[in-house]
Structure 1
Amino acid sequence: MSRCELRGVSRTQNSPGVSPREDMATSKAKVGVNSEARESKSNGGCGSAGEASPNKRIYNLDDLEIIATVGTGTFGRVFLVQERQSRAFYALKQMKIPDVIRLKQEQHVHNEKEVLTEINHPFLIRLFWTHHDERFLYMLMDYVPGGELFSYLRSRGRFSNTTGLFYTSEIVCAIEYLHSKEIVYRDLKPENILLDSEGHIRLTDFGFAKKLTDRTWTLCGTPEYLAPEVIQSKGHGRAVDWWALGILIFEMLAGYPPFFDDNPFGIYQKILAGKLEFPRHLDFYVKDLIKKFLVIDRARRLGNMKNGADDVKKHRWFKTIDWEAVPLRKLKPPVVPKVSHEGDTSNFDVYPEDDWKKDPPVPQKDLDIFKNF
């Protein structure tokens, strides 16, 4: 078993707002792109929006045929569904209202809808429709058949420098776009990066994302990826996403995160100590980039200074990257997932098909919390 696999199975749940590695609080379910059928276009720069937001048509649960479960979580389950008339495939995220309330995730659910309603970018998941009945909340999104980046990282042990460079470049564009909309993502990690059938990324699971004009104090994220200011409850902003990108680059290229321990508090101590030990094989420039992301003083953290993402894109590690070509999906993906058709589920784990419909209806006072969902 590789070091990547060893630490991958032990991310523990220590707070409703902290997402563990293998049993994600909001949804282990990865929802994402049906990229060829419904691709959003970019008009050039990394921070540019797509042409138009997803259509506002009304869907009907009775018109969606459940094909398979492609993910489960503490209060959510994600199904691959097919619309009976159009035969199009989607991912349907279904959340139990009582569990959302019990785990105090109401605001996160509302934030997720608000953020997804506003965004449209080639490297971000899209939301098509939300709905609720007397038991569940529903979110209809693209289905991404390629699976999680985490699966490919785990099977390979670690990525080469050029492979890590490709994924980082697309992620930088996604983060720049979100920050241009004053949105902080707060849950960057390999499990939340999906690959479409061509091998390009889509960020998914926006349960911790938030529209932010100043700072927020909520403890949320994944222990290994939390920025120091989140752990210290100093109030945090968009700089946490650049810290997380530094952690992600390290993990992609080393096969394990820079700060890990058997329990979250041990991880937090190591993060605050800030001691980095790089594997010998890492490229000189990528080590420099990681160090500039993992700066405890967020005022000096790369990506969070005066020039924002431009400072990141000008770093020497990216010297071969044509930033105009990145959001146009012109870079050649290093991994092309094996996908036989748009509804292929072979890149996801197999889950038991439990019958959720037996849950009793929730009281009206609980339904009122989600009346605008």
Structure 2
Amino acid sequence: MGLRDKIKTPKDKGGKKKGASGGGPAPKPPSMVEILKQNKAIFDQKWKENRQNTAKLSDFEIIRTLGTGQFGRVMFVRHLKSKQPKTFFAMKILERQKVVSMMQTDHVLYEKKVLQSIDFPFLVNYRYHFKDNASLYFILEFIPGGEMFTHLQKVGKYPEVQARFYAAQVVLSFEYLHFLGIVYRDLKPENLLIDQFGFLKITDFGFAKRIDEKPTTTLCGTPEYLAPEVIKNIGYNYSVDWWATGILIFEMSSGKPPFASEDPLKIFEKIMNARVKYPNTFNPMLKDIVRNLLMPDVSKRLGSSKGGTDAVKMHEWFKPIDWMKLYQKKVTPPFIPEVKSIDDTSNFEEYDELPILELPEEIYSDLFKEF
């Protein structure tokens, strides 16, 4: 049920809808707070569910690899049992052995719960999940525009209008996730997909965790995007997502993150020093929002201090953004990727194709019984 279905226009004594023919004011559209509350009620209901094996591998034709990771890969697949003759998805395959050896079991189980519970315009949509003897599978919507990382590498850096457009969608997504009690913890251009219309879709919820204001201490994420409190192992919450937002804005606007090195330890050292060298191309407002997001003191960091997400949205740099129109996708994106058809995968890099691992017997069945 959409938001439009939830709003009922009151009737007057004559049985006519007020506002339908000049008999009264039109119903007021829901505010963002009301939308978030409605979404949270839906989320809470889905969170209680424990759906298992909503599909199987034979339901899909595997076409090609879209990306690779530490635990497996993402494949482009066609759904063979769909009522529509051409229905395509992205299949995320996680090999059980690799997940266990890298101690990521809890993260994978959490990713399943998060994916089946969330629903937001700028977050990738979950469709199915299942498992076999060797692997775990997520079936997600296919986003044909490819990764922001690939597009950013091609152009070097984004014009300010484009960087702000993408950053605003991240802000709205974090507002939604944090309202649900979820910290994302893995923001980076590689996890931001661009759809055929030019809007963002955040993907990869392997590090997402529901904390409900309670601090967590897990060291996870991409080194260049880690907040100081994560490195210090002192306990953190949603503050780390706002720090990462500052890193993203800087990288989109300059072509590289502010703290970079081939040695992760040197990256951590630079983050702890928190000395940012701003390019001359950064105007005062762009520099100001990055500086306030990359504030080492969490109590003073934009988004984590007084005003929360509203303080981020009200920053002068975001003044051109109409937040409700953006949420409704009633704005024109500054860039639309070239997508020739619904099965066009040309915006993704080419990879060597490998067969899907098969095993005669199930491994680690107890660890993944909740998947």
TM-score, structure 1 as length reference: 0.85
Structure 1 residue 193: Cα displacement? 0.4
Question: Residue in 2 aligned with 1:201?
Answer: 200
Q: Is the 8 A contact 1:173 1:326 kept in 2?
A: no
Tell me, which stretches of 5 or more residues in structure 2 are unaligned?
Answer: 5-29
SS at match of 2:357: helix
Q: Aligned Cα RMSD in Å?
A: 2.2
1:175-324 map, 5 Å: 175-213=174-212, 214-324=214-324
Q: For the residues of structure 2 that align with 1:360 and 1:166, how far apart are their CA atoms? A: 49
Q: Is the 8 A contact 1:117 1:127 kept in 2?
A: yes
Alignment of 1:98 with 2:94, yes or no, is: no
Paired positions, count: 333
Q: For the residues of structure 1 that align with 2:127 and 2:118, how far apart are their CA atoms? A: 11
Structure 1 residue 84: Cα displacement? 1.6
Moved more, 341-350 or 177-186: 341-350
Structure 1 residue 160: Cα displacement? 0.8
Q: Deviations over 1:236-257 (max 9, x none)?
A: 1110000000010001001111
Tell me, which stretches of 5 or more residues in structure 1 are unaligned?
Answer: 1-39
Question: Residue in 2 aligned with 1:6?
Answer: none
Q: For the residues of structure 1 that align with 2:125 and 2:337, how far apart are their CA atoms? A: 20
Q: For the residues of structure 2 that align with 1:350 and 1:359, how far apart are their CA atoms? A: 27
Question: Residue in 2 aligned with 1:14?
Answer: none
Q: For the residues of structure 1 that align with 2:346 and 2:66, how far apart are their CA atoms? A: 10
Structure 1 residue 188: Cα displacement? 0.5
Alignment of 1:352 with 2:339, yes or no, is: no
SS at match of 2:324: coil
* Greater than 2 Å deviation, 4+ residue runs: 40-61, 356-363
Q: Is the 8 A contact 1:230 1:236 kept in 2?
A: yes
Question: Residue in 1 aligned with 2:27?
Answer: none
Q: For the residues of structure 2 that align with 1:326 and 1:50, how far apart are their CA atoms? A: 20
TM-score, structure 2 as length reference: 0.85
Structure 1 residue 331: Cα displacement? 2.2
Q: For the residues of structure 2 that align with 1:320 and 1:195, how far apart are their CA atoms? A: 21
1:1-373 map, 5 Å: 45=32, 48=36, 49=39, 58-86=54-82, 87-213=86-212, 214-359=214-359, 361-363=361-363, 366-373=364-371
Structure 1 residue 341: Cα displacement? 1.3
Larger of the two Rg values belongs to structure: 2
SS at match of 1:118: coil
| Identity between Structure 1 and Structure 2 (%) | 42
Moved more, 351-360 or 90-99: 351-360
Q: Report the AA paired with residue 229 of structure 1.
A: E
